Chains A and B, each alone.
Chain A
Amino acid sequence: SQTIHQWPATLVQPVGSPLSLECTVEGTSNPNLYWYRQAAGRGLQLLFYSVGIGQISSEVPQNLSASRPQDRQFILSSKKLLLSDSGFYLCAWTIVQGLSYGYTFGSGTRLTVV
Chain B
Amino acid sequence: SQKIEQNSEALNIQEGKTATLTCNYTNYSPAYLQWYRQDPGRGPVFLLLIRENEKEKRKERLKVTFDTTLKQSLFHITASQPADSATYLCALSHYNQGGKLIFGQGTELSVKP
Contacts and interface: CB of A to CB of B under 8 A. Distances in A.
Contact of A43 (B31, B89, B94, B98): B89
A98 B32 CA distance: 10
Contacts of A88: 41
Contacts of B80: none
A104 B58 CA distance: 20
For chain B, the bracket of interface size reads 20 to 34
Interface residues of A, number: 30
Nearest to B8: A41
B49 interface: yes
Contacts of B94: 99
15 contacts: A34-B101, A44-B89, A46-B100, A49-B100, A51-B98, A51-B99, A90-B44, A96-B99, A99-B95, A102-B34, A102-B36, A103-B36, A104-B46, A108-B42, A110-B41
